[in-house]
Structure 1
Amino acid sequence: MPSTSPLDGLRFAFGTLTVFPVRVTRWDRGAARGGMLCAPLAGLAVGAPAAALGLVLLFLGAGGPLAAVATVAVTAVLTRGLHLDGLADTADGLGSGKPAEDALRIMKQSDIGPFGVITLVLALLAQAAALAQAYDASWARGAFAAVVSATVARLSLTLAARAGVPAARPEGLGAAVAGVVPVRGALVTGVVVAGTAAAGGAVLGWYDAARAVLAVALSLVAAELLLRHCTRRLGGVTGDVFGGLAETAATTALVVLSLG
């Protein structure tokens, strides 16, 4: 396998996880490993402009709810809505109660079933409501919540791509990234993200720093529980499962950061 540069990983992360015009020049396991390790950076690049639009609306006189909806919308646009689509498809597959092969077939269909619609609506409502509360507390806490949630959402993908987690299908994005990240690398990335979130929260106060660490931890716990359920039910991960993990982690982070 040819040597992989950090730039290959960045291209992979931004080219697969965002709409930014980045050309993925390599699609091998080495590039996928670097890409999944760089996934939180892609989340940061998505969360920052989403928070920026929310702040612009606040400074123009809009309330927290409108700023929150705009922030959620920008996050969806900058990811092509793929994670939301993955969440809906995963909910349909798991909610069907069918064997793994049939559930995977349901997830691959282009339409969205009732389980997917309900899950999607509730997730978006929870995200917007939590962000609105954070923005109402202060513009800084709202912006911080938007950035942290987007970053930890992609961190959940890094951990889900760790060694030992199998792919449910032999093709697709799930198969391309399943098991590519060494466990140690995933843990180090998690610690770096948690530490950075704590440092950012410390600017607002010690309570915000502690809450940021708690948000990262609980988000990863929620994503891990979903990951384990999917691997038991489906036999492994798919691209849709990765999307579901990201939205689960983001929603959990926003809820935690909106409390108190």
Structure 2
Amino acid sequence: MRDAWRLATGTLTAVPVAAPRAVTPAVARSAMLLAPLAALPLGLLVAGIGLAGRELGIPLSPLGFVAVGALAAGSRALHLDGLSDTADGLTASYDVKRSLAVMKSGTAGPAGVVAVVVTLGAQALALGTLFGSLRGVVLAGVLVCLSRCALAITCARGVPGARTDGLGSSYTGTVPRAATVTVWIVAASVAGLVAPVPLRGVVAVALAAVVVVALVRRTVRRFGGVTGDVFGAAIELALATLLVVAA
């Protein structure tokens, strides 16, 4: 379990941790299931910015952008890179090899830039709205953590990998489907408890799951499977959905 914690924390956050002794399928599975808890430092970071900004009287919209920037730094912008690469791959070509090559190149094309700008803008404005109340600040931090539940879908058994190498290859297909469903049921329960309007929290989680499933289905059809970039894109899109619906 210690290796799983190290893997989840070291991969999903900028918190310095020791490297896991080995990355076995069991460790990878546990790491993906622990992802929402491993993201707790990021949730606390966003909630802390919301609280501090309210005390200092910072306008809410700029405060939302500050929180998004801090969140990107706290995750080393890894998920945003995945979002950009996935958008570029989906729009580059219908040829699988060409699309995967574009994703692996590391450069950001027009589609990737637009995807990042729109997604970050939606997240920032929604965070600004949530920061308008103390309960909204807490909810914002919780939703940051719950967005990492997206990995339980991207890594679910039955979802193929598009490559045999790369960051995502160690995690693909490691999470049992029953565990995936359980993770999202728990996420909906938590959101319902924290949200000022319980039903809105549950709906936010449900819609986020739909968005991630749609992304996975699309990438499997286009690329033949998922990649580490798709994992990052799923997290960012899940977060945007959660925040916008909750706000």
Which of residues 113, 123, 128 in structure 1 aligns to 2:124?
Answer: 128
Q: Does 1:55 align with 2:51?
A: yes
The structural deviation recorded for 1:140 is 2.3
Runs ≥4 residues deviating over 4 A: none
- Contact kept in structure 2, 1:10 and 1:35, CA below 8 Å: yes
Which stretch has the larger CA shift, 106-115 or 19-28? 19-28
Instruction: Summarize the alignment of residues 44-193 of structure 1 with structure 2, pairs less than 5 Å apart.
Output: 44-136=40-132, 138-144=133-139, 146-193=140-187
The Cα shift of 1:130 comes to 1.3
* Residue number in structure 1 paired with 2:38: 42
Do 2:144 and 2:239's aligned partners in 1 also have CA atoms closer than 8 Å? yes
Task: Judge conservation of contact 2:46–2:67 (CA < 8 Å) in 1.
Answer: yes
| CA deviation profile, 1:67-118 (whole Å, cap 9, x unmatched) | 2112111211111000001000000000113311110000011210011011
Segments of structure 2 that go 5 or more residues without pairing to the other structure are: none
TM-score (norm 2): 0.95
8 Å contact from structure 1 (residues 8, 34) kept in 2: no
Report the Cα offset of residue 255 of structure 1.
0.7
More deviation, 81-90/126-135: 126-135
Q: 188-197 vs 14-23, which deviates more?
A: 188-197
Equivalent residues of 1:89, 1:107 under 8 A apart: yes
Alignment of 1:248-259 (within 5 A): 248-258=237-247
Alpha-carbon distance change, 190 to 227 in structure 1, aligned in 2, over 3 angstroms: same
Is the contact made by 1:49 and 1:74 (CA closer than 8 Å) also made in structure 2? Answer: yes
Report the residue type matching 1:171 in the other structure. D
Counterpart contact for 1:152–1:219, Cα < 8 Å: no
Residues 102-140 of structure 1: CA distance to partner in whole angstroms, max 9, x if unpaired? 10000011210011011111111111111112223x232
Residue type at the aligned position of 1:16: T
Q: Is the 8 A contact 1:84 1:243 kept in 2?
A: yes
How many residues are matched?
246
- Residue deviations 1:162-181 (CA, integer Å, cap 9, x gap): 11111101011211100001
- 2:86 is matched by which residue type in structure 1? T
- Tell me if structure 1 keeps the 8 A contact 2:143–2:191: no
RMSD: 1.3
8 Å contact from structure 1 (residues 12, 34) kept in 2: no
| 1:20 matches 2:15 | yes
Asked if structure 2 preserves the Cα contact closer than 8 Å seen for 1:13 and 1:38, the reply is: yes
**Which moves more between the two structures, 232-241 or 41-50?**
41-50
Deviations 1:56-75 (A, max 9, x none): 01111111112211211121
The 1-side partners of 2:53 and 2:177 are apart by: 41
Q: Provide the C-alpha distance between the structure 1 equivalents of 2:204 and 2:153, rounded to a whole number of angstroms.
A: 16
Match in the other structure for 2:190 = 196
